[in-house]
Amino acid sequence: MASSDNEKPAKSPVCIITGGASGMGLAVAEHLWQLGWNVTIIDVNEESGKEIAAAHGDSALFFKANVADYEELSVTFAKTWDRWGRLDAVFGNAGIGDRISFYKPQPDRADGTPPKPSTAVIDIDLLGPIYCAYLGFHFFRKNPDKSGKLIFTSSMAGIYPGPTIPLYTASKHGVVGLTRALAQQLRELGEPVTVNCICPGLVHTGLTKIYSFTTPEEYITPVSTIITAFMRFIDDSSRTGQAAECSGENIHYRVQPEWSDDKAEFLGNGGLAKAMKQHNVKLY
């Protein structure tokens, strides 16, 4: 039965997972279902998504949506709220890899410039999490206590350079930066929402199958490590702004670099924001 403003919210917590029909997203969804959660999975794989949701009955919803399309994604959040009347967590997990070789020489067009490169990986891997955050905050604030847990999938490529996959690397670095920026500001605003990200090594998923068969098994990160990192963020509200690097069975919490000097700290640690507020200067 759908929930409305006149009905009580579901008793069990609710999570939205993008990229939830396979890989890490599905593994986390299955774990949450075992714990009694209600889960909405969002994916472009309609056949698998429908089968998975059907197997979990009333505790599951599936929507086919492109996370880089705000209108498509916003509908899934609204329908999740209509169904259960609450939203406790969002796992912005959908991702793809680079679609082009950035270094490959390209032919000239008529004007002597190369063809426009595909930026789909930026749209899915960075714009998608931005939309998840924006929508998540909106619906978290509808909860009676206005709380929520926002968790993104970044990557080790969000910490280290990935020379052969530069656009993927850029997007995943962006997710780590987004995590830290959002967490810091929400903490200063006093909002009870935590923001964290998971930075996996090589996990057996559809995205990584091209690498998996050439990688020694001891260098593969089991999906159980991802689930552990995810649940730590769910269970501990004191954790926010953290990047959990998952390497094998190890989880390393990677802190931001130290401030280089007092000038950098002034700019990045609230000094500039306080000065602007003091002088009534508004960004937007």
| Catalytic-role residue among 142, 168, 253, 282 | 168
Q: 75: helix, coil or strand?
A: helix
* CA dihedral for 161, 165, 170, 175, sign (positive or negative): negative
Q: Whose CA is closest to 24, among 249, 233, 224?
A: 224
Q: Which of 160, 172, 209, 284 is catalytic?
A: 172
Please check whether residue 94 is in contact with residue 21, taking contact to mean a CB–CB distance below 8 angstroms: no
Contact call for residues 77 and 16 (beta carbons, < 8 A): yes
Distance CA(167)–CA(100), nearest Å, equals: 9
* Residue 260: DSSP 8-state: S
The two beta strands, 14-18 and 89-92, are parallel
- Measure the CA dihedral 229/235/237/243, to 10°: 0
Give the helix/strand (H/E) hosting 43: strand 38-43
Distance in angstroms (rounded) separating the CA atoms of residues 202 and 155: 9
Q: Is 172 a catalytic residue?
A: yes
Question: Annotated active-site positions, please?
Answer: 168, 172
